Structure 1
Amino acid sequence: MTSPAERLVDLLDLERIEENIFRGRSPDESLQRVFGGQVAGQALVAAGRTTDGKRPVHSLHAYFLRPGRPGVPIVYQVERVRDGRSFTTRRVVAVQQGRTIFNLTASFHRPEPGIEQQLPMPSVPGPEGLPRLVDEIRDHLGVLPEALERMARRQAFDIRYVERLRWTKEQVEAAQPRSAVWMRAMGTLGDDPLVHTCALTYASDMMLLDAVRVPIEPLWGSRGFDIASLDHAMWFHRAFRADEWFLYQQESPIATGARGLARGQIFDREGRLLVSVMQEGLFRPHAGSTPENG
């Protein structure tokens, strides 16, 4: 049997159909829609495979347009927008069953010397003394529901929340719209920098919108909202490995109407800022549900 990390690498390994057209698998899982991080990661792989490989991606901007169907292949069409001396730009459209479900623009930058400064990493405990997410949920519930147990077996990342999960109304109401987790791939991902970049892109969509929900409802258990990612932007500052521990610091400056905005910063163990992330999500209350009674 393959490891979760090997399955992630395999998921990101697209089939080239033509020079600028790729096809990606979409696992047939019991989900309502394809995980957005999967689509973003695969789209970035498609973009990267049309470059010379010498320029790492420095930013991406994407929109989730329609929910993807699990089990149905996704075709990625790449437009070679520009190949300059310093920057390369690609636009990717993801199509499933004849309909566009996602688009992405990615920019690649030739490494060059320049200015250096950054804000410090927040002071938080390291990952070794923190419980794994799956163990924390199991300890609280006594036993994992079948769906969570299946998710835990296939989870490609070890996830450890810096602060304990909140399970009661009183704990939620006292919380600020912030969250922080340590993460790393559950196994080695090889040495291709593009794979590590795309794996972290995959991971970046896993819980960024948690920061919006922290002061409203418990993160695990029944939800009062239908939640969907609307757009996603990332800026890659330094080289990294997604199979080594990184801190994903998240906060939500605002949630209003049916949308919530979240921003994240990803640091390595040495406190270097690796990636900055922004995402807006749709938070639509279930019928007959409100944040107070959901």
Structure 2
Amino acid sequence: MPAEYDFLRLIGVRKTDDPWVFEAVSLPGRAGNQQPIAYGGCAIATALNAAGQTIKSEPRFVPYSVTGHFLGPASLDERYVCEVQAVRDTRSFATRYVTVKQKIKGEMRSVLALTLDMIASKLSTREALDRAKATGKEAAKVQSLLRYQPTAKTQLDNIVKLESNDEHLRRRLDSGDLDEFQVEAYNEFLGLWNNVFDTRIVPESIMTQNLFGLKECETSQDHLRIPDRRVFDWFRLFQSLPPAREGNQLTKGGPDGQLPQTTVMAHLCALGFALDGGLAFAPVSLSNEVMFKAGAASTLDFAQRYHTDVIDANKWMLREIQSVTAGWQRTFSQAQVFDLDGELIASCSQQCVLRPAPGALDDDDDEGSGPSAKL
């Protein structure tokens, strides 16, 4: 990661003349798309930051749901403008609706509509967590009627043995398994992600084996039905955030009026940014198809659910992706995120458009397909 890279700056916002409207301090970045359009996670995290600026820090509110719709491709050359609406403010809940806009072809256009739901969490304050730990109780079980969760479908205890992204690419390039074009295309495709997140490569992941569909090869999951195949990777934020338990602590602001964030919102922005990654293109890789057969692969709508009251983007998290169904030029995929202890931290589902590139299909008549087919 470049020493000067600053995730909080990337998704930072500043005030405008309207107390419910915020402007991004940075241009969005590109990742996970062959087209020159902004990565959706940038818009999501910027919107979450803006929403958080309007939510009081007492009591401690934590996220449980982020849902939204992408309304069109976002430019790499214009800053986001986030218009926030207060939907609900009670002692127990806070809800915000955010419309993210950009100036495109001389007019302000909506590119994302997002709803953030938060709930008051007295059990996740520093004092409450310390009490639970002192009595040997799992914090998630305190005053909870039920406690259960799924199990990750890969190992959780071998992260120290796994390669970093750079080590993995270098080894395969040196062995001749990959060529310079494939590595260059991969680094361009995931450049922003690899600046923001430290990653560890899981060998049994299909995206690892076929390099996001850039390499034609057999995989260890070819014998499985596509909905039973999985993508795995470990990630954590490069930039160190204030401890997740310190809900009232603020991050540092920045130049050009960049506003500080509460710790809760900073960690949420990091995970909200991450959860958008990979789901639109995962079906291509899971089907072991070549990436360039896809002319358009973009998210239409998404639902992020948070299953813990203490999100910690400083720690390693395992992402597991599956694609449930595909057809009618759409896909539906899901991701689950686990921590090192196997606790389910968050999940995300996305409905995406997936159109073939011209000539990708034997019966392709190019109608409604290819890069020119914009959302």
| Counterpart position of 2:200 | 160
> 2:101 and 2:286 mapped to 1: Cα distance?
36
| Counterpart position of 1:61 | 67
> 2:232 and 2:362 mapped to 1: Cα distance?
23
> 1:86 and 1:55 mapped to 2: Cα distance?
8
Deviations 1:95-116 (A, max 9, x none): 1111111100111101154334
> 1:26 and 1:202 mapped to 2: Cα distance?
15
Shift of the 184–83 alpha-carbon distance from structure 1 to 2, 3 Å rule, reads same
> 1:134 and 1:218 mapped to 2: Cα distance?
24
Match of 2:101 among 95, 98, 101: 95
DSSP 3-state at the match of 1:214 = helix
Match of 1:141 among 178, 194, 203: 178
| Counterpart position of 2:21 | 21
Shift of the 129–72 alpha-carbon distance from structure 1 to 2, 3 Å rule, reads same
Gaps of 5+ in 2: 123-142, 244-262, 365-369, 371-375
| Counterpart position of 1:131 | 163
DSSP 3-state at the match of 1:155 = helix
Q: Which moved more, 1:142-151 or 1:34-43?
A: 142-151
- The structure with the largest alpha-carbon Rg is 2
> 2:167 and 2:362 mapped to 1: Cα distance?
27
Shift of the 251–187 alpha-carbon distance from structure 1 to 2, 3 Å rule, reads same
Match of 1:71 among 77, 80, 86: 77
Q: Which moved more, 1:167-176 or 1:14-23?
A: 167-176
User: What RMSD, in angstroms, separates the aligned Cα atoms of the two structures?
Assistant: 2.9
Shift of the 189–222 alpha-carbon distance from structure 1 to 2, 3 Å rule, reads farther
> 1:165 and 1:152 mapped to 2: Cα distance?
21
| Counterpart position of 2:258 | none
Mapping of residues 27-66 of structure 1, within 5 Å: 27=28, 32-53=36-57, 54-66=60-72
Match of 1:250 among 306, 309, 321: 321
| Counterpart position of 2:151 | 121
Q: Which moved more, 1:154-163 or 1:272-281?
A: 154-163
**How many Å apart are 1:247 and its aligned residue?**
0.8
Structure 2 length-normalised TM:
0.70
Query: In the alignment, does 2:231 pair up with 1:227?
Result: no
> Contact 2:280–2:298 (CA<8 Å) still a contact in 1?
no
Shift of the 37–27 alpha-carbon distance from structure 1 to 2, 3 Å rule, reads closer
DSSP 3-state at the match of 1:141 = coil
> Contact 2:295–2:358 (CA<8 Å) still a contact in 1?
no
> Contact 2:330–2:353 (CA<8 Å) still a contact in 1?
yes
> 1:132 and 1:223 mapped to 2: Cα distance?
28
Q: Which moved more, 1:188-197 or 1:109-118?
A: 109-118
Structure 1 length-normalised TM:
0.88
User: 1:232 corresponds to which letter in structure 2?
Assistant: F
> Contact 1:179–1:210 (CA<8 Å) still a contact in 2?
no
> Contact 2:318–2:339 (CA<8 Å) still a contact in 1?
yes
DSSP 3-state at the match of 1:56 = strand
**How many Å apart are 1:187 and its aligned residue?**
3.4
Deviations 1:168-192 (A, max 9, x none): 3543754544211111112312341
> 1:75 and 1:204 mapped to 2: Cα distance?
22
Gaps of 5+ in 1: none
| Counterpart position of 1:110 | 120
User: 1:136 corresponds to which letter in structure 2?
Assistant: H
Query: In the alignment, does 2:218 pair up with 1:186?
Result: no
DSSP 3-state at the match of 1:107 = strand
**How many Å apart are 1:243 and its aligned residue?**
2.0
Shift of the 248–146 alpha-carbon distance from structure 1 to 2, 3 Å rule, reads closer
DSSP 3-state at the match of 1:199 = helix
> 2:287 and 2:359 mapped to 1: Cα distance?
17
**How many Å apart are 1:123 and its aligned residue?**
4.8
> Contact 2:282–2:323 (CA<8 Å) still a contact in 1?
yes
**How many Å apart are 1:280 and its aligned residue?**
1.2
> 2:239 and 2:92 mapped to 1: Cα distance?
34
DSSP 3-state at the match of 2:61 = coil
